[in-house]
Structure 1
Amino acid sequence: MGALGRALLWLQLCAMTRAAYKLWVPNTNFEVATNWSQNRTPCAGAAVVFPADKMVSVLVREGHSVSDMLLPRDGEFVLDSGAGFGAADAGRDPDCGAAAPALFLDPDRFSWHDPRLWRSGGAARGLFSVDAERVPCRHDDVVFPPDASFRVGLGPGVGPVRVRSVWALGQTFTRDEDLAAFLASPAGRLRFHGPGALSVGAEACPDPSGCVCGNAEVQPWICAALLRPLGGRCPPAACRDALRPEGQCCDLCGAIVSLTHGPTFDIERYRTRLLRGFLPQYQGLQMAVSKVPRQNAGAEADTEIQVVLAETGPDGTGGAGRLARALLADVAEHGEGLGVLSAAVRESGAPVGDGSAAGLEGSGMRAGLAGGVAAGLLLLLLALLAGALLLRGARSFRWSRRDEAAPAPFVAPLGFSNPVFDVAGSVEPPSAPQVENSSVSRSYFVNPLFAEAEA
């Protein structure tokens, strides 16, 4: 069975189980304008500069004429059919500003723990996830698009990032041994980096009432990545007595309904009930439903269902409070049939100032907007089909220094102090067997810029 067939089979199995999947969004493609310092791809005759001390895999889909190119110490070009590089005189395009080199931005800037860099598969309109659950949870399948090159930082190495499976480069990894061999291979080292470890093998969530995400330990790092563009600080909430749900980085306006449940509760059935029977009646609301640890619980394993109703309208109309009270009435009438034992509600206060619902872009109140337009399973299948066909005939050229550079020291994010993260460890990677990829052939060469220094 080819790579495309394995990918389709894997997605069918996901659909048959309770497994959710997260799709990685950013890439290191050559033609993507946001990967370049001038926010545009290099024009004809431009000098092209890659960070000299980095590693990167770059997908090239078109032909390009450049005057000079400075390569990084280790990397690879994956060339689509008809793509390549040719020599051109500097200043060939007078409107290009060829005197300023086109700088490829730091490929290490993309972190696994950044919620903005993931999309949830199959998200329904009106739903969002709290910040900690926007990053892959331990029961999730993880998908890296086949029609893009990418590079992912695995974080501080507090503990292994554990997920159900990883799909990358036409291969599905469900065993730690196979994934470790891939990560230690040249292709794996170009795409995953950092002191963190990636582990697979967890089963799909076996409990109809849902499973806790499992990202509580790394939530400080998730919040640090999310808030970095804002200087590490949450924006002020647009209401009094704002709420902070479990797994959320910043306060929001709305209501939180906490449910205790019995053995017959089904979280998917209840989520569908709210989406179809309740949420459409209230404008300007986004909803998140998940299982979380119970606050102030005596037993560590004690959990509850958290229903977050976030106000996203411009004037904070109080719809979240009205919907929360409607859910309480629904539990009182139908709780036994739903498997709900009890319910409690917390509401934020009245809007402040002009009542504008300002919030963290892509987080909290606005997170569901991204989830509502995320690709569903059908769209992902089509993307995988297109990507596999696109790269079936691709070529790649790789360069590498013979000596391995020492990894850069990790710097903890500011604003979060947790003694758990003072523990460091290292694991010797296993030997790297040949990694198969029937759709891409690779040619390796040593970067001549470094040949003299190595000699």
Structure 2
Amino acid sequence: MKRLILYLSFVVACQGSSRKLWIPNLNYDTVENWDKMRLPCPNDRIIIPEPTWTAYFQTNATLKEMILPMNSDIVFGENVQLNFASDPAVDLECAGEDITFIRNDTKKWFNPTNWKDEDLVVNVETELVPCTHDQVAFSPKSVFHAELDQSVSIATMKIGYETYTTSSLSNFLETVAGLSQFQRYNAASIELTQKTECEDITGCVCGNDKTALKQKICNLYTCPNIACQRSLLAKGGCCNMCGAILSMNYDSNKFNMKVFEQDMYDAYSSVEFMGTRDRKKRETDAEVYLYISKVTGNKIQMVLTDNVPGTNNGQAASDKAAEINDALSQNNKYGLLNISLSMTSDGKDYSQQENLGAGAVTGIVIAVLIALVVTIVLSYLFVKTRPFSRSWFQKDDPLDANIEMAPGIAVVDFMRDPGRPTQGFDNPMYDSPTKENFYMDPSRPFPTLSDDTSFSSLSPTEERRQDMLAFSNPLPDDMPDKMMKKTAPAEEDGVKAFTNPLPDDLDDSEPATIDDDGRGFANPLHISDVTFGVDNEADA
């Protein structure tokens, strides 16, 4: 039962609107109100210059001297005492110097710097200024001076310990205290709707991002310097920022803003969304601040920033945004659509045209598996019909058979060493017109000397020019007769025959004539270091 009560309290608290707190004040004990950025000490002389609207002493103080303007209000809190001491020994650590009160100007209502969200770290400048459903508070024991030049509508307003309605606030603004703390122009008024709840389950738009109002707000805001290389501008933002932005549409029948906010803040923000004015800080190396709102155009915007210094600013926020984007892509329980992600860290943009449900994801997985199986089967059949491990040459294929080679395989000379220079000789028979081969038919008579087939003593190069099949006579005309054992036959038509220099009746006991290089007779086609093969005995 105890757990149930806590849960219900939590839900009710979560349904409350945001509370915006006014920051500037005219208090004596505010460091920012002094030019030395410290509080006065007993040996100091404080100066309140002209003009100064009001200086509020809400605590006891001891001073050496105080210089007041001619026209100003000095307000003392209840039971506050102001003492003056001329003895420096009162505070030995205080050297004593002049210190000036510098809070002498009014602060504008529409300046985002003057507001603080008590529940969240708001990183969209226009939404720091109170929205329609926000509760506005001015701190107790504080005096302020706010300037309002345009009518506004908010949910509630609390000044000090008193909560006002539209009527009671109008009366207060006409009092001395009201006139001194609110300076209004153009008949500006403040409407209090008392509507702290958004009646739309998908969330309510702040409205400060509309063009005219946004321009007014941004003109009053000074943008800080940023170090990231790629900055982003959020919807409703006045300045570029480092971090990440998630923008999305939603299904109005399914989306619940409060549930979505709660889950996102609990899971991903460095500051837990407690649903009350208390915030619990997570123990993390880098704090990531997450802000979710509904913006003009009925879009949900999620802005993430971090506290990482230097050029790495925005890196932790980008990593967290990518994690959120992945989670939302896999789980569509919120009814989000068309999620787009922009990040500072890597300059990339990611978008999803539509989130996929569980059924769609399952279908994609099945389709991928089917495609994989089909690919494997086709690859197996291809390998089976094309056995690359076997030789491309079949045993009984003729030498002139057509050979299919796999694509991509280069045709190389397998018979020659690539590193060895080419050796050879001019083939006098190559690329010459084919002559009739009378040896192919033994029944045909041997051609006469008048046929085109003849012998010549021309060089192979000269013979190729004449397009003839011939070779040089190994027995030139000046060969000595003593080299022949038989008389050569008579010449016929100018063609001289020759006799085997190693006749059949050469006695084995009688050595053959040997040339100087050790050969029995000169090879007319001999070329050094070249070996000629013989295909078969018939050709030999």
TM-score, normalization: structure 2?
0.51
C-alpha contact (below 8 Å) 2:208/2:214 kept by paired residues: yes
Secondary structure in 1 matching 2:206: coil
Alignment of 1:226 onto 2:229 = no
C-alpha contact (below 8 Å) 1:46/1:90 kept by paired residues: no
After superposition, where does 1:108-257 map in structure 2 within 5 Å?
108-123=105-120, 128-154=122-148, 157=149, 159-175=150-166, 177-195=167-185, 197-202=188-193, 203-204=195-196, 205-216=198-209, 217-227=212-222, 235-240=225-230, 242-257=231-246
Deviation string, structure 1 residues 133-171 (Cα, Å, up to 9, x no partner): 1222221111111132322233xx2x2133211101322
For 1:160 and 1:114, locate their aligned partners in 2 and report how far apart those are by CA, in whole Å. Answer: 15
- The equivalent residue for 1:290 is 293
For 1:222 and 1:115, locate their aligned partners in 2 and report how far apart those are by CA, in whole Å. Answer: 7
After superposition, where does 1:33-432 map in structure 2 within 5 Å?
33-44=31-42, 47-71=45-69, 73-81=71-79, 83-86=80-83, 101-123=98-120, 128-154=122-148, 157=149, 159-175=150-166, 177-195=167-185, 197-202=188-193, 203-204=195-196, 205-216=198-209, 217-227=212-222, 235-240=225-230, 242-261=231-250, 262-278=252-268, 285-294=288-297, 303-310=298-305, 312-314=307-309, 315=312, 320-321=317-318, 323-335=320-332, 337-348=333-344, 350=346
C-alpha contact (below 8 Å) 1:54/1:72 kept by paired residues: no
Secondary structure in 2 matching 1:107: coil
**Aligned-partner residue type, residue 129 of structure 2:** V
For 1:115 and 1:75, locate their aligned partners in 2 and report how far apart those are by CA, in whole Å. Answer: 27
Deviation string, structure 1 residues 290-331 (Cα, Å, up to 9, x no partner): 11113xxxxxxxx10001233543536855555445444444
For 2:318 and 2:171, locate their aligned partners in 1 and report how far apart those are by CA, in whole Å. Answer: 52
* Structure 1 residues 148 and 128: alpha-carbon distance in aligned structure 2, compared to 1, 3 A threshold: same
Aligned residue pair count: 315
**Aligned-partner residue type, residue 293 of structure 2:** S
**Aligned-partner residue type, residue 266 of structure 1:** N
Deviation string, structure 1 residues 391-448 (Cα, Å, up to 9, x no partner): xxxxxxxxxxxxxxxxxxxxxxxxxxxxxxxxxxxxxxxxxxxxxxxxxxxxxxxxxx
Deviation string, structure 1 residues 262-290 (Cα, Å, up to 9, x no partner): 14322221122123334579965332211
Secondary structure in 2 matching 1:223: helix
C-alpha contact (below 8 Å) 2:145/2:181 kept by paired residues: yes
What runs of 5+ residues in structure 2 fail to find an aligned partner? 1-9, 271-283, 348-540
Secondary structure in 1 matching 2:185: coil
C-alpha contact (below 8 Å) 1:112/1:153 kept by paired residues: yes
Residue 131 (structure 1) shift: 1.4
C-alpha contact (below 8 Å) 1:108/1:152 kept by paired residues: no
**Aligned-partner residue type, residue 266 of structure 2:** R
State the superposition RMSD in angstroms.
3.5
Secondary structure in 2 matching 1:188: helix
Residue 224 (structure 1) shift: 4.0
C-alpha contact (below 8 Å) 2:268/2:290 kept by paired residues: no
> Which structure's relative contact order is higher, taking Cα pairs within 8 Å and 6+ residues apart?
1
For 1:253 and 1:174, locate their aligned partners in 2 and report how far apart those are by CA, in whole Å. Answer: 40
* Structure 1 residues 61 and 341: alpha-carbon distance in aligned structure 2, compared to 1, 3 A threshold: same
For 1:319 and 1:239, locate their aligned partners in 2 and report how far apart those are by CA, in whole Å. Answer: 15
C-alpha contact (below 8 Å) 2:59/2:77 kept by paired residues: yes
**Aligned-partner residue type, residue 146 of structure 1:** P
Secondary structure in 2 matching 1:108: coil
**Aligned-partner residue type, residue 291 of structure 2:** A
Deviation string, structure 1 residues 16-45 (Cα, Å, up to 9, x no partner): 853211122332222333322333444447
For 1:121 and 1:278, locate their aligned partners in 2 and report how far apart those are by CA, in whole Å. Answer: 19
C-alpha contact (below 8 Å) 1:143/1:167 kept by paired residues: yes
For 1:282 and 1:101, locate their aligned partners in 2 and report how far apart those are by CA, in whole Å. Answer: 42
* Structure 1 residues 333 and 80: alpha-carbon distance in aligned structure 2, compared to 1, 3 A threshold: same
C-alpha contact (below 8 Å) 1:130/1:247 kept by paired residues: yes
TM-score, normalization: structure 1?
0.59
C-alpha contact (below 8 Å) 1:290/1:306 kept by paired residues: yes
Secondary structure in 1 matching 2:221: helix
Residue 187 (structure 1) shift: 0.7
For 1:97 and 1:347, locate their aligned partners in 2 and report how far apart those are by CA, in whole Å. Answer: 51
C-alpha contact (below 8 Å) 2:314/2:344 kept by paired residues: no
Residue 66 (structure 1) shift: 4.8
Deviation string, structure 1 residues 60-97 (Cα, Å, up to 9, x no partner): 3104345454145242413332x223555598979867
After superposition, where does 1:15-26 map in structure 2 within 5 Å?
15=13, 17-26=15-24
Secondary structure in 2 matching 1:273: helix
For 2:318 and 2:83, locate their aligned partners in 1 and report how far apart those are by CA, in whole Å. Answer: 63
Residue 112 (structure 1) shift: 2.8
**Aligned-partner residue type, residue 112 of structure 2:** P
For 2:255 and 2:50, locate their aligned partners in 1 and report how far apart those are by CA, in whole Å. Answer: 55
Secondary structure in 1 matching 2:29: coil
* Structure 1 residues 76 and 16: alpha-carbon distance in aligned structure 2, compared to 1, 3 A threshold: farther
Larger radius of gyration: 2
For 1:146 and 1:58, locate their aligned partners in 2 and report how far apart those are by CA, in whole Å. Answer: 12
Of 54-63 and 163-172, more deviation after overlay is shown by: 54-63
Deviation string, structure 1 residues 192-228 (Cα, Å, up to 9, x no partner): 225373513232222222212222344344334431x
Secondary structure in 2 matching 1:271: helix
Structure with the bigger percentage of strand: 1
For 1:54 and 1:219, locate their aligned partners in 2 and report how far apart those are by CA, in whole Å. Answer: 30
**Aligned-partner residue type, residue 22 of structure 2:** W
- The equivalent residue for 1:27 is 25
For 1:253 and 1:101, locate their aligned partners in 2 and report how far apart those are by CA, in whole Å. Answer: 41
Secondary structure in 2 matching 1:138: coil
Of 59-68 and 201-210, more deviation after overlay is shown by: 59-68
